[in-house]
Amino acid sequence: MRTLIILVLLAIPATALAGSLADALQADEANLYFSFQTREGVYGDGESLSINLDGSRSFGRSTRPSWGREMTEGPGRVWIRIRDGRIRDIDLEVGGKEPRLDSKRTDLGFIDAAEVRDVMLTIAETSRDDEAEDAIICAVVSDGFAHWDRLLAIARDQKRPDDVRESAIFWLGQEASATATAGLEQIVDDEDDELEIREHAIFALSQQGIDRSFDSLRRIALESAHPQLRETAFFWLAQEDDPRVVDLFEEVLVE
């Protein structure tokens, strides 16, 4: 296993990961650019981004309308700005035309997706700034991403900033697996955690699809000790057109 050497405080970690990306991130001042292979279902036109990981739900963002521009499946293009030894910005684009780089920008070329995943997750695990959230997206859209255990660790780490934890929780909600579901339930049930984080985990559960999430949401709605969590679970159940939800509401109303 690759060894990670993490620097303290707010600095983005220098790493012992072999590879051009990890080495480049140790610079004091740099403007970096690289591309990588994205996973299936990730489309863009250089300005708009669409992510559809399971064939049923999609998520997008855009800096301006994409009328007339062709959406293509990859590649991912990342721009990183480093100042005073810290990563200040991570910007992800997908698709579009290959950019023309000036002399102030270092082109790292095409980076293997596995290295992109490892480095970006390390940033997400250690940085306390906005780039940690951007790093999570870069990792999740990389080809072959399957590190849900590391995302779960970020989501459960109460020392991480709330925005970073919520980003990890959101993407866990897109992974329909027993591990992700169990991890989200643990966050909901953690009485020592912030209420807002626990509600965010309920939302993430609801995004896994009713077949996977129903039992979890039903248990929270009926058994949670916190009334606001019960209300949140009922709210997301009510968004589903499923006979089990109708039966549940009838059961509650009859009692």
Encode pLDDT of 200-232 as tens digits.
999 999 988 888 899 999 999 999 999 999 999
Mean pLDDT on 146-161: 90
Higher pLDDT, 111 or 174: 111
Is 14's pLDDT higher than 80? no
Which residue's structure tokens are 């707010």? 10
In this predicted structure, the answer to whether residue 6 has a pLDDT above a threshold of 50 is: no
For residue 218, being part of any structural domain is answered with yes
Q: pTM to 2 decimals?
A: 0.79
Asked whether the beta carbons of 106 and 32 are under 8 A apart, the reply is: yes
Please give the Cα distance from 21 to 119 (Å, whole number): 8
Task: Identify the domain containing residue 239 by its residue range.
Answer: 147-255
- Look at residue 61 and tell me whether its pLDDT is greater than 70: no
Q: What is the C-alpha to C-alpha distance for residues 18 and 12, in angstroms, rounded to an integer?
A: 17
Give domain status of residue 22, yes or no.
no
What is the residue-averaged pLDDT of the chain?
84
Predicted confidence at residue 233, as pLDDT, reads 94
Radius of gyration of the CA atoms of the chain, in A: 20
CATH (domain of 181): 1.25.10.10
Secondary structure class of 31 (helix, strand, coil): strand
Task: Please indicate, yes or no, if residue 66 is contained in any of the structural domains.
Answer: no
198 located within any domain:
yes
Residue 205 lies in a domain: yes
Round to whole Å and give the CA distance between 101 and 33. Answer: 9
Closest CA to 116 of 144, 94, 88: 144
The pLDDT of 109-136, averaged and rounded, is 92
- At 19-40, the pLDDT tens digits run 589 899 999 999 999 999 999 8
Q: Which pLDDT score, from 0 to 100, does residue 58 have? A: 52
- Give the pLDDT confidence score for residue 15 in this predicted structure: 35
Domains: count for the chain: 1
In a domain, 6, yes or no: no
Q: What separation, in Å, do the N-terminal and C-terminal C-alpha atoms of the chain show?
A: 55
